[in-house]
C-alpha cells in the first residue's frame, strides 16, 4: 500500500494502518442527491428548482421554490438562519436544493433547504475525526477494488464493503444491514485483526529442540490423565521438538488438572532444565510439593523471597515466585508461568530474557485458570498457540443458589451443620471498610457478628500483608474465613465445602466461577450461595445452572461485551464493532483457514 504523504497523515488521524481498516469505517447514513419525479413525503429529497421569492422574518427565512422535477411550488423555511444562508437563495436562479418535504392539504414545505452541487448520486455521511468532504475524498482515492483485493483476497467481501462506500441504490437506507453485508464486515474485521496479530508474532531459534516420551512417566501416576490433559501435553511435546522457540498458552478451568501438564512438560524436558514462576508463595509451595511427589527423578528447588541465595546450577526444575526475577539464574530451555494474568507482560518478558542465550530463546508456556470463549482462543492463536482443557478429572458436586435477607436463618443452620462435619466455610464480602455509597456490609462491619457467634474465625483481604499466613493458619485450624476476592486464585483448601458471596451481582461471572471453584476440591459435597439485595437477576439465575468455566465465559460475553484481547485497554466494551465472540466462531474458522493459505508458500 503506497500512500501519498497527505493520505498517510489522514490514516494516522483516523488511527488506521491499512486500506482494509479504512473500508471498515463505514458511513453512518446516506443522502440521496438523485432527482425523482414523485414526492417522498416526510423524507429528505432533492429538487431542481427556481427561486421565485425570498422573505426574511425575525427568526426565519422563507423561500418560494418552483420544483421543475415535481411540477409544483414548494415553500422553503430556514429556522434561526445564519447570515451566510441568505446568499444561497437568489430570486430567479435555478439550482439543486435538498431538505425534508412535507405536504398538508395541497400545501408543501421544505424545512432547512440547502444548496447542493453534487447532484445525481447517493452521498455517504461519515462520523470520523475528518470533515465529511475530506473523508469522502480519501475513500474515493484509496478504496479501489484491485488494491483491496490485494489486502484481503476475497471478491465477495470486497464487493460488499465497496457497496457501502459507493452505493448505487438506497438499499443502504434500510434500518439493518443485510446478512451478506454483515458477514462481510465481520470477516473483514477479523481478517484485519488476525493478520495484524500474526504479523506481531516473532520467531526465534530455540535453546533446545528435544522432548522425551512422557508415557513412561504418566503410567507411574496413581490416576489416569484426561484426554484433554493428554492433548495439551502432546501439543507441548510437538512444540519442544521444534527448533523454533514455542509460545503457548494452556487455558484450563479451576481443577482441570493443569498442574499435571506442568509436571509432564518438566519431565519431557529432561535432561534440560525447566523454570516455573507462580504468583504467590502459597501457590509456589503447592506446586513444589506436587513436583516432589510426582517427579521423584528430578532435583527440584523452591525460590521465594525467604529463600537464601544459593547456586541453582545443580537443579533440574526450579519453581519460584517473582523472586526468580532477582536471582542469578542458570540456563533453562523451558519456562512456564502459572496464572499468567497475575503477572505483567514486562515481568513475563524479563523471566524469558534472564535465561535467553543471545539469539536463542527458551520454549515459553503460560497457564491460565480463567477460561476464555473458544472463539477468543481461536483468534488469539494467530499470535500464540493455545491449548484448552475444558473438562475436569472428576465432576464436582456443588449446589449453587441465589439467596436474600429472608434466607439468613437457614444459611446460619447450614454453616453450623458444615462446621459440625469438620468442613470449612468461606464468606466473601465486597469491601473491607464501610462505605456510605454501598448497600452491603463490609468485612469490618460483619466480622463482629461472626466472631461473637462462632469460634476459629479468620479474616484477610488483598491489602493484608499477612494474608498468606492467615490462609495457611485457616487451612489447618479454621472454621470460617472472612475475605474479599483475594482467595479467588491459589491456595488449596481441602475441607472447604461452602462459599457465600455477598453482593454477588456486582462481580463478573468468571470471578464468581473462580470463587465457586474453591469448594469441593477433593470430592466433598459443595455449596455456593450468592447473596443479593436485588429481587431478580437474570445473570445470577443463569450462572447457578452453568457449571463449565468455558460456558461461563460465553455467558459473561452475553451480558457484557468482551474486552480487548491483547492490548488490554478495555475489559468490557469490545474492540470489535461487528464481531460477536458468542456467535461468530464459524467466521473465525474461515478467516484462520484463509490466512493460513496466504502464509503457505505457493507451488
Q: Give the per-residue pLDDT at 204.
A: 86
Are 348 and 460 contained in the same domain? Answer: no
| Per-residue pLDDT reduced to its tens digit, 268-283 | 999 999 999 998 888 8
Q: Is the pLDDT of residue 440 over 90?
A: no
Are 297 and 376 contained in the same domain? Answer: yes
pLDDT band for 15, please (50, 70, 90 cuts).
confident
> Which residue did the predictor score with more confidence, 303 or 204?
303
Are 68 and 9 contained in the same domain? Answer: no
Give the mean pLDDT of the chain.
Answer: 85
Are 373 and 401 contained in the same domain? Answer: no
Residue 431 within a domain: yes
397-403 β-sheet, strand order: 397-403, 525-531, 496-502, 424-428, 480-483, 457-459
Residue 59 within a domain: yes
CATH number, domain with residue 278: 3.40.50.300
CA distance 316 to 273: 5
Residue 316 within a domain: yes
Are 225 and 360 contained in the same domain? Answer: yes
pLDDT band for 492, please (50, 70, 90 cuts).
confident
Dihedral (CA of 267, 269, 272, 275) sign: negative
The answer to whether 512 and 555 are in contact (CB under 8 A) is no
Residue 9 within a domain: yes
Mean pLDDT of 67-84: 90
Residue 133 within a domain: yes
Are 234 and 342 contained in the same domain? Answer: yes
Are 451 and 533 contained in the same domain? Answer: yes
> Which residue did the predictor score with more confidence, 343 or 266?
266
Q: Is the pLDDT of residue 113 over 60?
A: yes
pLDDT band for 564, please (50, 70, 90 cuts).
very low
**What is the C-alpha end-to-end distance of the chain, expressed in Å?**
25
Q: Give the per-residue pLDDT at 228.
A: 93
Q: Give the per-residue pLDDT at 417.
A: 95
Residue whose grid cell is 529432561:
270
CA distance 245 to 234: 16
pTM above 0.85, yes or no: no
Residue 583 within a domain: no
Are 106 and 220 contained in the same domain? Answer: no
Out of 524, 542, 559, a domain closes at: 559
Q: Domain containing 309: what range?
A: 215-389
Percent of the chain past pLDDT 70, that is, above it, reads: 91
Are 289 and 318 contained in the same domain? Answer: yes
Are 231 and 141 contained in the same domain? Answer: no
CATH number, domain with residue 61: 2.40.50.140
Residue 590 within a domain: no
Q: Is the pLDDT of residue 365 over 90?
A: yes
Provide the domain count of the chain.
Answer: 4
Are 281 and 181 contained in the same domain? Answer: no
**Closest by CA position to 125, among listed 24, 31, 11, 14:** 31
Of 97-111, 128-142, 384-398, 563-577, the range with the lowest mean pLDDT is 563-577
Mean pLDDT of 157-183: 82
67-81 in b/e form (b: 16+ CB < 10 A) is: beebeeebebbbeeb
Residue 137 within a domain: yes
Out of 116, 143, 177, a domain closes at: 116
Q: Give the per-residue pLDDT at 452.
A: 93
Amino acid at each position: 500500500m503506497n500512500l501519498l504523504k497527505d493520505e498517510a497523515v489522514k490514516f494516522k488521524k483516523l488511527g488506521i494502518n491499512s486500506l482494509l481498516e479504512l473500508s471498515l469505517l463505514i458511513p453512518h447514513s446516506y443522502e440521496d442527491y438523485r432527482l425523482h419525479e414523485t414526492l417522498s413525503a416526510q423524507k429528505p429529497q432533492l429538487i431542481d428548482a427556481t427561486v421565485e421569492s425570498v422573505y426574511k422574518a425575525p427568526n426565519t427565512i422563507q423561500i418560494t421554490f418552483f420544483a421543475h422535477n415535481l411540477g409544483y411550488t414548494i415553500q422553503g423555511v430556514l429556522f434561526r438562519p445564519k447570515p451566510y444562508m441568505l446568499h444561497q437563495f437568489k430570486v430567479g436562479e435555478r439550482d439543486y436544493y435538498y431538505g425534508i418535504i412535507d405536504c398538508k392539504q395541497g400545501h408543501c414545505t421544505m424545512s432547512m433547504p440547502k444548496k447542493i452541487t453534487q447532484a445525481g448520486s447517493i452521498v455517504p455521511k461519515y462520523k470520523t475525526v475528518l470533515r465529511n468532504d475530506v473523508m469522502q475524498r480519501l475513500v474515493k482515492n484509496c478504496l479501489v477494488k484491485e488494491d483491496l483485493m490485494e489486502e484481503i483476497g476475497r471478491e465477495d467481501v470486497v464487493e460488499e464493503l465497496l457497496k457501502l462506500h459507493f452505493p448505487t441504490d438506497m438499499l443502504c437506507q434500510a434500518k439493518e444491514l443485510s446478512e451478506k453485508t454483515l458477514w462481510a464486515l465481520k470477516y473483514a474485521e477479523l481478517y484485519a485483526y488476525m493478520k495484524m496479530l500474526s504479523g506481531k508474532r516473532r520467531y526465534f531459534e530455540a535453546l533446545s529442540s528435544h522432548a522425551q516420551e512422557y508415557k513412561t512417566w504418566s503410567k507411574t501416576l496413581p490416576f489416569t490423565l484426561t484426554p484433554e490433559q493428554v492433548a495439551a501435553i502432546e501439543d507441548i511435546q510437538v512444540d519442544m521438538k521444534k527448533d523454533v522457540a514455542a509460545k503457548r498458552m494452556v487455558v484450563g478451568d479451576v481443577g482441570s488438572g493443569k498442574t499435571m501438564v506442568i509436571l509432564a512438560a518438566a519431565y519431557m524436558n529432561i535432561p534440560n532444565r525447566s523454570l516455573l514462576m507462580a504468583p504467590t508463595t502459597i501457590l509456589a509451595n503447592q506446586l513444589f510439593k506436587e513436583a516432589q511427589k510426582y517427579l521423584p527423578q528430578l532435583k527440584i528447588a523452591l525460590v521465594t523471597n525467604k529463600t537464601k541465595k544459593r547456586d541453582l546450577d545443580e537443579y533440574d526444575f526450579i519453581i519460584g515466585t517473582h523472586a526468580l526475577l532477582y536471582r542469578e539464574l542458570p540456563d533453562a530451555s523451558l519456562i512456564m508461568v502459572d496464572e499468567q494474568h497475575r503477572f505483567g507482560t514486562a515481568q513475563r518478558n524479563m523471566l524469558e530474557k534472564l535465561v535467553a542465550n543471545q539469539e536463542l530463546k527458551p520454549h515459553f508456556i503460560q497457564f491460565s485458570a480463567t477460561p476464555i470463549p473458544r472463539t477468543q482462543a481461536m483468534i488469539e492463536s494467530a499470535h500464540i498457540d493455545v491449548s484448552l482443557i475444558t473438562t475436569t478429572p472428576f465432576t464436582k458436586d456443588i449446589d449453587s443458589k441465589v439467596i436474600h435477607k429472608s434466607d439468613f436463618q437457614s444459611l446460619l443452620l447450614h454453616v453450623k451443620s458444615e462446621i459440625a462435619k469438620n468442613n470449612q466455610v468461606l464468606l466473601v464480602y465486597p469491601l473491607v471498610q464501610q462505605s456510605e455509597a454501598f448497600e452491603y456490609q463490609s468485612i469490618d462491619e460483619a466480622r463482629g457478628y461472626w466472631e461473637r457467634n462462632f469460634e476459629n474465625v479468620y479474616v484477610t483481604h488483598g491489602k493484608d500483608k499477612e494474608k498468606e499466613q492467615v490462609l495457611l493458619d485457616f487451612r489447618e485450624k479454621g472454621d470460617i474465613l472472612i475475605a474479599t476476592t483475594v482467595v479467588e486464585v491459589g491456595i488449596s483448601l481441602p475441607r472447604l465445602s461452602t462459599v457465600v458471596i455477598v453482593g454477588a451481582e456486582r462481580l463478573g461471572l468468571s470471578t464468581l466461577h473462580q470463587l465457586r471453584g474453591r469448594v469441593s476440591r477433593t470430592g466433598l459435597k459443595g455449596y455456593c450461595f450468592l447473596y443479593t439485595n436485588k429481587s431478580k437477576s437474570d445473570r445470577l439465575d443463569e450462572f447457578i445452572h452453568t457449571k463449565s468455566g468455558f460456558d461461563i465465559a460465553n455467558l459473561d460475553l452475553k451480558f457484557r461485551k468482551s474486552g480487548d484481547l491483547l492490548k488490554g485497554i478495555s475489559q468490557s466494551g469490545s474492540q470489535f464493532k461487528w464481531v460477536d465472540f458468542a456467535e461468530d466462531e464459524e467466521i473465525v474458522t474461515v478467516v484462520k483457514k484463509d490466512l493460513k493459505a496466504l502464509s503457505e508458500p505457493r507451488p
